[in-house]
Amino acid sequence: MEAIFLAGGFGTRLKPLTYTRAKPLLPILNKPMILYLIDSLPSEVDRVILAVNYKKEQIEKCFSKYDCGREIIINEEPEPLGTGGAVKFAEKYLGDRFFVLNSDIISSINLQDMIRFHERNKATATISLWPVDNVSEFGVAEVGEDGRITGFVEKPKPEDAPSNLINAGAYLLESEVLDYIETGRLVSMEKEIFPQIISNTGRFYGYKFEGYWIDIGRIKSYLYVNQFLLKEKGLDKIIGEDSNVKGDIVNSILGRNVNVGRNTVIKSSVIFDNVSIDDNVTIENSVIGENCRIKENVYINNAVIGDNETIMDGYEIIDTTIWTQPIPEGYPKKQIGNVIGE
Ligand code: GDD
Ligand code: MG
């Protein structure tokens, strides 16, 4: 069977890291997130379709270097077609039943168990559900005792939310769902298609699971997921190959070819590849992009440094985002100036 990863979108809330890379390529424990997700698919999935648009070439390059043991199809939309339109656009690659997966979620979901749940219920569509407090950032389901979903609202006001169970971003669909999606236009799966499945088939089910569910929508959750998975593995740090560390690394992940000087402390942070950090530096709760140079006596806390930046001696960078290069052409929401606060 197939799995489609919805992997388009600019990931604007993860800028400046997404000025220079597609969101699915952000490293999770030093591995591009999309590879992490593909490796956790059940064995039933033998074909993976990546529904992409922004920075497609980077995604192609990533797969040209990595064999995941499954057929990979990179399907570029001519323009973003939305979560439903992207699935329709992949129709020719799809069989009778397939997964649709958001590519910005890391969770403990057992997709094999979800298939069994779907089969037991003879469902037309099954979506994963997860309980949260802040429902208004998500799609919210109204669920009956038998697991049947009877209503769905995308990003409701808290008072209009039918429950605290949100769409956790993994769908298992029968191919008849494709008939509800119009070709060649922007279609939202959540707003336009889910309500039709409910009213036309009555066989829309919600699959709840235990463990963890982390939405990598923002820098804060991106840092959190890395630390969470590090802990899950019983590790305090990961240091990539060809790195040379003289300082202290605590609860952090360092990419390849990272140099860390004496008396430097890196805590609860993620450092990308090819970064050089001099002596007497402190970095906490921060992300440092590729090819950065951090000079002596710098203090960085709760900050994001975009790729290719140099931070000069003695600077204090707290609660902010550094990006001093032009914003890439076509990237949404233009910023004025070159240092962007969050
Ligand atoms: N190919 C393609 N084309 N992918 C897209 C497009 C598009 O036009 N638009 C969005 N995506 C991808 C995103 O990259 C992401 O993986 C997924 O579709 C969902 O889009 P987001 O933009 O991340 O949506 P969201 O986080 O606001 O809400 C969605 O996810 C929540 C769970 O995190 C909805 O599905 C909610 O209902 C859900 O609760
Ligand atoms: Mg999202």
Query: Which pLDDT does position 329 carry in this prediction?
Result: 85
Judge whether 174 lies within some domain.
yes
Query: Which pLDDT does position 288 carry in this prediction?
Result: 98
Judge whether 227 lies within some domain.
no
Q: Cα of 103 to ligand 2 centre, how many Å?
A: 8
Mean pLDDT within 262-285:
98
Would you call the peptide bond into 16 cis, given omega within 30 degrees of 0 as the criterion?
A: yes
Indicate whether 250 and 210 sit together in one domain. no
| Ligand with minimal distance to 23 CA | 1
Mean pLDDT within 242-264:
98
Judge whether 155 lies within some domain.
yes
Judge whether 327 lies within some domain.
no
Indicate whether 112 and 182 sit together in one domain. yes
Domain range for 40 is 2-215
pLDDT at 68 over 60: yes
> Given 23, 31, 56, 155, which residue is catalytic?
155
User: Residue 27, Cβ neighbours under 10 Å: how many?
Assistant: 23
Indicate whether 154 and 272 sit together in one domain. no
Asked if residue 107 has its Cβ within 6 Å of ligand 1, the reply is no
Mean pLDDT within 153-157:
95
Asked if residue 190 has its Cβ within 6 Å of ligand 1, the reply is yes
Q: Cα of 1 to ligand 1 centre, how many Å?
A: 22
How far apart are alpha carbons 288 and 5 in whole angstroms?
27
Query: Which pLDDT does position 119 carry in this prediction?
Result: 98
Query: Which pLDDT does position 341 carry in this prediction?
Result: 33
Asked if residue 215 has its Cβ within 6 Å of ligand 1, the reply is yes
What is the CATH number for 32?
3.90.550.10
pLDDT at 304 over 90: yes
What is the CATH number for 284?
2.160.10.10
Q: DSSP assignment, residue 29?
A: T
Domain count within the chain = 2
pLDDT at 337 over 70: no
Indicate whether 168 and 34 sit together in one domain. yes
Asked if residue 9 has its Cβ within 6 Å of ligand 1, the reply is yes
Q: Which residues contact 181 (CB under 8 A, 6 or more apart)?
A: 84, 85, 87, 88, 187, 189, 192, 193
pLDDT band at 66 (very low <50, low <70, confident <90, very high): confident
Question: pLDDT above 90 covers what percent of the chain?
Answer: 89
pLDDT band at 340 (very low <50, low <70, confident <90, very high): very low
pLDDT at 336 over 90: no
Cβ–Cβ under 8 Å, residues 142 and 150:
yes
Q: Cα of 83 to ligand 1 centre, how many Å?
A: 6
Query: Which pLDDT does position 217 carry in this prediction?
Result: 84
Q: What is the pLDDT of residues 186-223, one digit of tens each?
A: 999 999 999 999 999 999 999 999 999 999 989 999 99
- The pTM score is 0.92
End-to-end alpha carbon distance in the chain: 41
Cα 232 to the chain's mean position, in Å? 19
Q: Which residues pair with 291 in a beta bridge?
A: none
